[in-house]
Amino acid sequence: MTLLKKLVSSIQISPDFLHQVFTISDYMARIIRQRGRTDLLSDKVIALLFLEPSSRTMMSFQSAAERLQAGILFLQSKETSSLQKGESVEDTMRVTAGYCDMIVARLPKAGSAEIAANACSVPFINAGDGSNEHPTQALVDTYTIRQALGRLQDIHVALGFDPLQSRSIHSLVRVLAQFPGVRFTFISPPSLRAPDDLLNELRSRSIEFFETEDVSSVRGADVIYLNRLQEERFTDPKEFDLNRYRFKLTKAMLSDRTKLILDPLPRIDEIAPEVDDHPAASYFRQAHNGIPIRMALMCLLLDRV
């Protein structure tokens, strides 16, 4: 049981909430292995509104809802909905809330998840709002780190290569920053440095972080967390072209210290395919963890566990 009914930002994810989600996710993973599905949400309808492209988040929410035997409503693009006619996100949420028991929404504009959540009268999950936040990805990422290392405290995490625009990096840093002994190294060109508000949050909590352009500094990290340059968010295409191939993880950059390599995916140029068979490379397992995590989250917000 949780009092949380609308997950908009990873700021809402406390260590206690994380523990609750992980415990239920372990239970859901057992259900998937043993019998594939359960009827915990068989009387519920979940609306999936994905107004920005998605493969993993959309399909893992769909798969999670299917495995919980919920009904699913889809709204998959602005172009095929009345948003195209000029209807506001708020009105879309108000109407959709009358058709379902929970809304999961991916929205293109940073900050729009909060507006959407405030407009809807049913539980709400932010599935990524522009370059702002991706809180369910942070749940998946921390679950994968805990599985691999057995802890979330006392780890050094290197993050690249677009900390400015990667919502997955923003959300992960905010969750991990609550654990003692966590250190961050942000790797990016100067134009893609992590946003000031995020860095100021770290400074205000006296959390150690370092910024560099040197990709080989991943050597000192326990966890390497990479995300593609967010091409669709660049205002200057030349800036993207300039950095696209400069920031790439190769096998030669890994060290004995490297315990885990993660990427929320899609992988474009940030990780060379030769890294895939390294024992620390865990990005495909990370993507599969999206199902038990999202099953757990939907059940928690709907008071079914």
Residues annotated as part of the active site: 56-57, 85, 106, 134
Q: Is 171 in the site for ligand CP (CB under 6 A)?
A: no
Judged by CB under 6 A, the chain residues 121 through 140 that form the site for ligand CP are 128, 134, 137
Q: How far apart are CA 113 and CA 59, in angstroms?
A: 20
**Residue 85 CB, nearest approach to ligand CP (Å):** 26
Using DSSP, how many helices (H) and how many strands (E) does the chain show? 10, 10
- Which of 76, 71, 69, 70 is CA-nearest to residue 55? 76
Q: For 94-109, b where at least 16 C-beta lie within 10 A, e where not — what string?
A: eebbeebbbbbbbbbe
Which C-beta is closer to ligand CP: that of 264 or that of 292? 264
Which C-beta is closer to ligand CP: that of 123 or that of 264? 264
Site string for ligand CP, 49-88 (x = CB under 6 A): -----xxxxx------------------------------
Q: How far apart are CA 211 and CA 198, in angstroms?
A: 13
With CB under 6 A as the contact rule, which of the stretches 77-85, 217-225, 263-271, 296-304 interacts with ligand CP?
263-271
**Residue 252 CB, nearest approach to ligand CP (Å):** 27
Which C-beta is closer to ligand CP: that of 266 or that of 279? 266
Q: Is 284 in the site for ligand CP (CB under 6 A)?
A: no
**Residue 56 CB, nearest approach to ligand CP (Å):** 4
Q: How far is CA 45 from the centre of its chain?
A: 23
Report the SS3 class of residue 248: coil
Q: How far apart are CA 63 and CA 69, in angstroms?
A: 10
Q: Is 264 in the site for ligand CP (CB under 6 A)?
A: yes
- Which of 237, 239, 208 is CA-nearest to residue 221? 208
- Judged by CB under 6 A, how many residues of this single chain contact ligand CP? 11
Q: How far apart are CA 170 and CA 159, in angstroms?
A: 10
**Residue 264 CB, nearest approach to ligand CP (Å):** 4
Q: Is 166 in the site for ligand CP (CB under 6 A)?
A: no
Q: How far apart are CA 32 and CA 36, in angstroms?
A: 4
Which C-beta is closer to ligand CP: that of 9 or that of 38? 9
Site string for ligand CP, 3-22 (x = CB under 6 A): --------------------
Q: Is 265 in the site for ligand CP (CB under 6 A)?
A: yes
Which C-beta is closer to ligand CP: that of 97 or that of 287? 287
**Residue 268 CB, nearest approach to ligand CP (Å):** 12
Q: Is 243 in the site for ligand CP (CB under 6 A)?
A: no
Q: How far apart are CA 125 and CA 134, in angstroms?
A: 10
- Which of 91, 68, 260, 280 is CA-nearest to residue 159? 260
**Residue 39 CB, nearest approach to ligand CP (Å):** 27
Which C-beta is closer to ligand CP: that of 137 or that of 165? 137
Q: What is the dihedral of CA 135, 136, 137, 140, to 10 degrees?
A: 130
Cβ atoms of 168 and 264 closer than 8 Å: yes
* Cis ω before 161 (30° cut-off from 0): yes
State the residue for tokens 């677009």.
162
Q: Is 172 in the site for ligand CP (CB under 6 A)?
A: no
Q: Give the residues lining the site for ligand CP (CB under 6 A).
A: 54-58, 128, 134, 137, 264-266
